[in-house]
Structure 1
Amino acid sequence: MELTPFKRNLIALSLFAAPLGAQAATQQDVVEHYADVAHAVFADSHTTAIALEQAIDAFVAKPSEQTLQAAKKAWLDARVPYQQSEVFRFGNAIVDDWEGQLNAWPLDEGLIDYVADGYQAELGNAGATANIIANQSIQIGATKLDVAEITPDLLASLNEVGGSEANVASGYHAIEFLLWGQDLHGTQAGAGERPYTDFAYGEACTHGNCDRRRDYLKAAADLLVDDLAWMRDQWAEGNKDNYRATLLADSSENGLRKMLFGMGSLSLGELAGERMKVALEANSTEDEHDCFSDNTHNSHFYNEQGIYNVLTGSYQRVDGGELTGPSILDLVAEKDPQAAKEIKASFDKAHQQVKTLVVSAEQNNVHFDQLIAAGNTEGNALVNQSIFALVDQTKHIERAAKLIGIDNLNPDTADHQF
């Protein structure tokens, strides 16, 4: 039986953390290893994006149900390392400024392609139904744009066109929409059901413009690969002009602050807040992260895994290798072994609680968009329990910071009250 990426990571989980206090670590050692982990995560993200690009090339060359499913699987596989990279966003401006071109959401998919009748767009978004694929030029407010040739550079230039963050032309979610199509099931079971014939040649083409749809999918995949190669190289050793060199030239205290701020901000404002609380309180599938593919449970889990990785200085490579080294947990254990155990226990609880969303989807076939449905008391409670666990985890991140001398951490709440 083939193991899913999620199950492979669960098997490896018991190997992640070294015994508390087993390795004496300096602050500089921990920051340097953090850079090593970041490089590995972005390198794996790049590798899996190349595999996705190759699967897309095979699909557009010979559209079929089989090649479409292979491209979808490659997309799902590519999400595993990438979602673990988001812990590096907060505190590292170079990552946060770059991330929008790869992972911005939610998006007004009508900017890209046809949508169903009754499509609910972002209020006031002039580009919400521009439909790049169906048109040689598009009108955004008073501006007319030439989109006749669909290239990676064109897609990059169209992100947030017209000033709306919902105008997302590139990245994982644009590719996801093209592969799956809209999820029209609301809070009922089912993901997007785009037919492979939307990319077919000649008279087999459905919904028109299949040539442009193929061009768009290829251009988006090309841009994704190029963007990830750039970020991988920012964390590589041996380049005195990249971000890694800048990070390591700064004080180790500032490096630790970036690490802890990134963990806390992803845990609290982003994952507990923007990705769970917003969707739950509004019972809104439009605010679901991987909304077209119904892969949101895995995206949430691997975000949490990324936070766990930074605490423990560990990362499970996509090729099965393990990267371990000096960690924040080691620094805490040197100051207060009992506190280190309590902090790790909070992380373990959050990790296991977010995993229940995966179990719900993979074992019970109840996905995140069903859990957040109005009236689903049990599902709502499951999501709320994950939010509570992430809030507690964040408190323990702040505790760890104080123990190793990082005051006033103030992780980003994204204006949410918990």
Structure 2
Amino acid sequence: MKALISTLALTSILVFSTATAAPITPKDTMNTYVNIAHASFADSLSTAKTLKVAIDEFVSNPTTETMQDAKDAWLAARIPYGQTEAFRFANPNVDDWEGQVNAWPLDEGLIDYVDSTYEHEDGNSLGEANIIAGKEKIDMALLRSFHEKGGSEANVATGYHAIEFLLWGQDLNKSKTDAGLRTFTDYAKGTDCTNGNCDRRGEYLTAATDLLVADLNDIVADWAPEKDNYRKTFLALEANEALRRMLFGLGSLSLGELAGQRINVALLAHSQEDEHSCFSDNTHVDIAENARGIQNIYTGTYKRVNGETFKGASLAELLALKNPELSKSLTAKLAISQSKAADVVKAAESGEYFDQQIAANNSTGNARVQSVIDALRLQTGDIEAASKAFGIPSLSADSSESTGG
């Protein structure tokens, strides 16, 4: 009897080992992809809900402390959201939706009062509209109606960066280490109110946050399992088309968007106005989390905000079946990009924020930022090579923005 049990146990182990040793397939990586999408957008939603709680408390009881709590919640919410951007260019549901939640840069005068030195985008007739000083009822519908109104992308009325502006105000660089210096009294009651319209400013901040939560609810539903939704559509794609989309998304964020639009444009112009999170001086985190999002998808790994780590079949493993050396090379280059982005973060955490690192008189900071661009360009080359290894002849990752070479 013992011999029979031992034989059965050994057989079970061998069967399990054989099953787990089977090479992964493109379908396996597609399942990992949609699971990471759902988890990262769900984390973005949960942190936005935490932000809503903090903002509701701040608006009802504006103090230095409640304002800081709201700012801290906004900063925390940007961490998981930044990682979702690797899904943007690959998936029309994300690309069409993204402008509602993450559009930038914005003409601040559309929303609120601005400094006398303020200049809006040329030709934007709403660049000084000041919705908060107006008479129309402020609610989610009004904000949606003003978003990109008149065909101007500078008319950003909704999303993370509208909320950021309402919490920090313009970054006027009163000192090198200061972000925007808006005070809680911009939301104070009665005679303590500064800069007028404090009640309406609170209404705008509340509506913008409610709208952010609603928009994130929509995108989470798109990726939820066992629903008739975009996730189901993606999983029904032919394997090569799914691989093409995944790699196109990674390459486009890596080169055209992150290396180009979000870093190099600002570096070439030495311009704070071209940095991503300019009001809060949080651009260094945006860069690092975007780079991490690319790495997440390639390695099939995502660390959730609760500390749990998801791991599934990865593009790295799939590529290793085709070209082991290329798989190792891309893994290494992604790690280098993370390291270079971490250098920018470390400098920012020491008080040299991104706007100072890109300043014209800061050769050391410029070189540090340039090293991130260079690393992203190199990893994009390997992403494009990976597509060819999978039999996808032309990836054509979006490189529409200058990356310096």
User: Residue by residue, what CA displacement relative to the aligned partner does 1:104-138 show, whole Å, maximum 9, x if unpaired?
Assistant: 000001100000011021111111111000111xx
2:227 pairs with 1:228: no
Does the CA contact (< 8 Å) of 1:90 and 1:261 recur in 2? yes
Structure 1 segments of 4+ aligned residues over 3 angstroms from their partners: none
2:232 pairs with 1:245: yes
What's the counterpart of residue 348 of structure 2?
Answer: 361
Q: Which segment drifts farther, 75-84 or 394-403?
A: 394-403
Cα RMSD after superposing both structures: 1.3
Does the CA contact (< 8 Å) of 2:261 and 2:401 recur in 1? no
What's the counterpart of residue 164 of structure 1?
Answer: 152
2:296 pairs with 1:296: no
1:394 aligns with one of 380, 385, 388: 380
What's the counterpart of residue 314 of structure 1?
Answer: 301
State the AA in 1 paired with 2:292.
Q
Q: How far did 1:23 drift? A: 7.3
User: Residue by residue, what CA displacement relative to the aligned partner does 1:169-200 show, whole Å, maximum 9, x if unpaired?
Assistant: 01000000000000000783310010100001
2:344 pairs with 1:345: no
Counterpart-to-counterpart distance in 2, 1:328 and 1:318? 23
What's the counterpart of residue 132 of structure 1?
Answer: 131
State the AA in 1 paired with 2:68.
Q
Counterpart-to-counterpart distance in 2, 1:282 and 1:83? 24
Counterpart-to-counterpart distance in 2, 1:184 and 1:24? 56
Report the count of equivalent residues. Answer: 385
What's the counterpart of residue 255 of structure 1?
Answer: 242
| Partner SS state of residue 315, structure 1 | strand
What's the counterpart of residue 88 of structure 1?
Answer: 87
Q: How far did 1:339 drift? A: 2.2
Does the CA contact (< 8 Å) of 2:265 and 2:274 recur in 1? yes
Q: Scaled by the length of structure 2, what TM-score is found? A: 0.93
2:259 pairs with 1:272: yes
Counterpart-to-counterpart distance in 1, 2:22 and 2:127? 54
Does the CA contact (< 8 Å) of 1:331 and 1:404 recur in 2? no
2:211 pairs with 1:212: no
Q: How far did 1:162 drift? A: 1.4
2:360 pairs with 1:374: yes
2:329 pairs with 1:330: no
User: Residue by residue, what CA displacement relative to the aligned partner does 1:3-51 show, whole Å, maximum 9, x if unpaired?
Assistant: xxxxxxxxxxxxxxxxxx9873100110111001000010000000000
Structure 1: runs of 5 or more not aligned: 1-20, 137-147
| Partner SS state of residue 185, structure 1 | coil
Q: How far did 1:336 drift? A: 2.4
| Partner SS state of residue 122, structure 1 | coil
State the AA in 2 paired with 1:403.
A
State the AA in 2 paired with 1:409.
L
| Partner SS state of residue 385, structure 2 | helix
- Percent sequence identity is 53
State the AA in 1 paired with 2:150.
G
| Partner SS state of residue 302, structure 2 | strand
What's the counterpart of residue 163 of structure 2?
Answer: 175
Counterpart-to-counterpart distance in 2, 1:396 and 1:22? 27
State the AA in 2 paired with 1:222.
D
Counterpart-to-counterpart distance in 2, 1:299 and 1:186? 23
- Change over 3 Å in CA distance of 1:288–1:415 after alignment to 2: closer
Does the CA contact (< 8 Å) of 1:273 and 1:413 recur in 2? yes
What's the counterpart of residue 57 of structure 1?
Answer: 56
Counterpart-to-counterpart distance in 1, 2:401 and 2:303? 33
Q: Which segment drifts farther, 333-342 or 367-376?
A: 333-342
- Change over 3 Å in CA distance of 1:337–1:186 after alignment to 2: farther
Counterpart-to-counterpart distance in 1, 2:326 and 2:114? 52
What's the counterpart of residue 145 of structure 1?
Answer: none
- Change over 3 Å in CA distance of 1:263–1:45 after alignment to 2: same
Counterpart-to-counterpart distance in 1, 2:311 and 2:92? 25
- Change over 3 Å in CA distance of 1:290–1:415 after alignment to 2: closer
Does the CA contact (< 8 Å) of 1:314 and 1:324 recur in 2? yes
- Change over 3 Å in CA distance of 1:55–1:41 after alignment to 2: same
- Change over 3 Å in CA distance of 1:23–1:414 after alignment to 2: farther
Counterpart-to-counterpart distance in 1, 2:393 and 2:353? 39
Mark the structure with the bigger radius of gyration.
Answer: 2
Counterpart-to-counterpart distance in 1, 2:22 and 2:277? 39
2:109 pairs with 1:123: no
Q: How far did 1:293 drift? A: 0.2
**Which structure: greater helix fraction?**
2
Counterpart-to-counterpart distance in 2, 1:67 and 1:98? 31
| Partner SS state of residue 85, structure 1 | helix
Counterpart-to-counterpart distance in 2, 1:221 and 1:63? 16
Does the CA contact (< 8 Å) of 2:326 and 2:382 recur in 1? no
2:196 pairs with 1:196: no
Does the CA contact (< 8 Å) of 2:357 and 2:365 recur in 1? yes
Does the CA contact (< 8 Å) of 2:265 and 2:402 recur in 1? no
State the AA in 1 paired with 2:54.
A
Q: Which segment drifts farther, 332-341 or 91-100?
A: 332-341
Counterpart-to-counterpart distance in 2, 1:196 and 1:186? 18
Counterpart-to-counterpart distance in 2, 1:214 and 1:111? 16
Q: How far did 1:340 drift? A: 1.5
Q: Scaled by the length of structure 1, what TM-score is found? A: 0.90
